[in-house]
């Protein structure tokens, strides 16, 4: 991974500086799709921006943040090709890359600390997708997309 899209709402913005710093320390180029202050905004806007950047290939992967990570991940997962995973600890972050090849992780600003977010981002970024038996399952997810998405 090299070019990473980040996006958040007001509930997730508390994590964004730490996440950007962690990504840059890993050597990633970060593209920040907002939001940029603590004014109340609607998380689907930012979930969509980051998901479209990843699905189009403009960015290699993404990190989303809202209060829980849930609403913004649900939004991103409505974009074909996106596998956005809420991760609340390092184990989930590593496993969702190794098994699900998550191209977006979603974090909760009201759930984890900025320091925990940095550890999670590092674990996800550094882990490698294992392929093999897991690819069959990702293909099955793609089949569901093809059945129900335009
Ligand atoms: C905003 O108050 C909050 O609902 C949002 O950040 C997120 O937690 C939704 O899933």
Mean of per-residue pLDDT scores for the chain: 97
pLDDT of res. 28:
98
* Residue of 72, 73, 74 with the most ligand 1 atoms within 8 Å of its CB, for mutation: 72
Please compute the mean of the pLDDT values over residues 59-79 and round it to a whole number. Answer: 98
Using 50, 70 and 90 to split pLDDT, how confident is the model at 65?
very high
pLDDT of res. 150:
73
Question: For the structural domain made of 3-148, what CATH number should be given?
Answer: 3.40.1400.10
Instruction: Report residue 88: phi and psi, to 5°.
Output: -115, -5
Residue nearest to atom 8 of ligand 1 (CA): 67
pTM across the whole model: 0.97
CA distance 112 to 132: 32
**Which residue ranges make up each domain of the chain?**
3-148
CA distance 106 to 71: 9
What residues are in contact with ligand 1 under a 6 Å CB criterion? Answer: 9, 11, 43, 66-68, 70-71
Q: Find the 139 Cα to ligand 1 centroid distance in Å.
A: 31
Q: Are the C-beta atoms of residues 50 and 6 closer than 8 Å to each other?
A: yes
Tokens of 109: 């600003």
Q: What is the pLDDT of residues 86-103, one digit of tens each?
A: 999 999 999 999 999 999
Residue nearest to atom 4 of ligand 1 (CA): 67
pLDDT of res. 40:
98
Residue 145 has pLDDT above 70, yes or no: yes
The catalytic residues are 66, 99
Q: What is the pLDDT of residues 89-140, one digit of tens each?
A: 999 999 999 999 999 999 999 999 999 999 999 999 999 999 999 999 999 9
Q: What is the pLDDT of residues 13-50, one digit of tens each?
A: 999 999 999 999 999 999 999 999 999 999 999 999 99
pLDDT of res. 1:
64
pLDDT of res. 96:
98
């Amino acid at each position: 991974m090299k070019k990473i899209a980040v996006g958040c709402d007001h509930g997730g913005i508390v994590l964004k500086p730490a996440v950007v710093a962690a990504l840059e320390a890993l050597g990633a180029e970060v593209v920040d799709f907002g939001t940029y202050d603590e004014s109340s905004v609607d998380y689907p806007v930012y979930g969509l921006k980051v998901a479209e950047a990843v699905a189009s290939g403009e960015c290699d992967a993404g990190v989303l943040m809202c209060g829980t990570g849930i609403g913004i991940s649900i939004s991103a997962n409505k974009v074909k090709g996106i596998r956005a995973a809420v991760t609340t600890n390092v184990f989930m972050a590593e496993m969702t890359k190794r098994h699900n090849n998550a191209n977006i992780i979603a974090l909760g600003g009201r759930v984890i600390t900025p320091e925990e977010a940095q550890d999670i981002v590092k674990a996800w970024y550094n882990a490698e997708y294992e392929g093999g038996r897991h690819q069959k399952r990702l293909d099955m997810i793609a089949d569901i997309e093809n059945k129900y998405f335009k």
